[in-house]
Amino acid sequence: MNHSSLRGKLLQGVAALALCLAGLDAGAAVYTTTLSGANEAPPNASPGTGTAVVDFDIATHTLTLDVAFAGLLEGTTAAHIHCCTAIAETGTAGVATQVPTFVDFPLGVTSGSYRRVFDTSLAATWNAGFITANGGTTAGAEAALLAGLDTGRAYLNLHTSFAPAGEIRGFLEPVPEPAEVALLAVGAPLVLLAAQRRRRGGAQAAGR
Q: What angle do CA 113, 117, 123 make, to 5 degrees?
A: 120
Band (207; pLDDT cuts 50, 70, 90) = low
6-58 pLDDT, tens digit per residue, is 444 434 444 444 444 444 445 679 999 999 999 999 999 999 999 999 999 99
Q: 74 versus 3: which is more confidently predicted?
A: 74
**CATH fold of the domain at 24-193:** Immunoglobulin-like (2.60.40)
What dihedral angle (degrees, nearest 10) is formed by the CA atoms of 159, 41, 50, 57?
90
Whole-number average pLDDT of the chain? 83
Task: Return the pLDDT at 27.
Answer: 61
* Global confidence as pTM: 0.75
Q: 146 versus 18: which is more confidently predicted?
A: 146
206 has pLDDT over 80: no
Side-chain half-sphere exposure of 206, counting CA atoms within 13 A: 6
